Amino acid sequence: DAGITQSPRHKVTETGTPVTLRCHQTENHRYMYWYRQDPGHGLRLIHYSYGVKDTDKGEVSDGYSVSRSKTEDFLLTLESATSSQTSVYFCAIQSQSGGMNTEAFFGQGTRLTVV
Amino acid sequence: GQNIDQPTEMTATEGAIVQINCTYQTSGFNGLFWYQQHAGEAPTFLSYNVLDGLEEKGRFSSFLSRSKGYSYLLLKELQMKDSASYLCAVFSGNTPLVFGKGTRLSVIA
């Protein structure tokens, strides 16, 4: 199994509080992604990273920020959590081989509930 | 922008063959992935198509036509454990991995 772990696995937080989710990899993969998954919407990209300190926005980035200060960690922060951010969050990692992208591997997911 | 379409739901009988289609419109194309996701679990990798044609892997096969922006996942000898969502995802060099909404497959006896 690919070495990717998310923490925490479950979290309940109150509206207006900051929340940080962590994605940690031991594979030294270049690309890291944060997705959220909601019924009827599938996996939607929040932010992604293509290297240390290199990040960019996905389609649902409002209300979220990310940081990647080292290859192995990609942090997702909700500055002020809202009920609309209740979701399951998945981190994924992806590498390149011979100039081609390889398959992406997913973490176990974090179930976040904002009350 | 990128647009990826899949049927929302499909039902098939145990032992049968089912084809799940995916059409995409993207700016650039580097490859197409298929993932399987059981309820409450993370997606797991099934197949990766870069060039046109069929890639076979056991009971699962995936086909790609880049000129038509079309792919399908073929599942043979369906088993009850194949009941899951199947996700199509496209990667194009300058844009990240983007997923369709997924197809929920129910296998019935």
One pLDDT digit (tens) per residue for chain A, 115 residues: 569 999 999 999 999 999 999 999 999 999 999 999 998 888 999 999 999 999 999 999 999 999 999 999 999 999 999 999 999 999 999 987 776 778 899 999 999 999 9
Return the half-sphere exposure (C-beta side, CA atoms, 13 A cut-off) of residue A50: 10
**Amino acid found at B75:** L
Residue type, B87: L
Q: Cβ-count burial of A20 within 10 angstroms (0-12 exposed, 13-18 middle, 19+ buried)? A: middle
pLDDT for the residue A1: 58
**pLDDT (mean) for B35-49:** 95
- CB-based contact (8 Å) between B102 and chain A? yes
Which residue, chain included where needed, has tokens 């399908």?
B72
The pair of structure tokens assigned to A52 is 């240390």
**Quick one: pLDDT at residue B30?**
85
Is A23 in contact with A34 (CB distance < 8 Å)? yes
pLDDT at A100: 72
CA–CA distances in Å: residue B1 to residues B27, B93, B96: 7, 13, 11
Q: In this complex, do B100 and A42 lie within 8 Å of one another by their Cβ atoms?
A: yes
What span, in angstroms and rounded, lies between the C-alpha atoms of A62 and A28? 28
For residue B94, pLDDT over 70 is answered with no
Which range among B45-54, B57-66, B89-98 shows the weakest confidence by mean pLDDT?
Answer: B89-98
For the beta carbon of residue A91, count every other beta carbon within 10 angstroms: 27
| Closest Cα in chain B to A45 | B98
Whether residue B96 has a cis bond before it, omega within 30° of 0 = no
As a whole number, mean pLDDT of residues B3-32 equals 94
% of chain B beyond a pLDDT of 70: 97
- pLDDT at residue B28 above 90? no
Query: Which residue from B31, B42, B98 is facing A106, i.e. has the nearest CB?
Result: B42
Smallest CA–CA distance from A40 into chain B, residue: B101
Contact B3/A at CB under 8 A: no
Total CB pairs under 8 A between chain A and B? 54
% of chain A exceeding 90 in pLDDT: 83
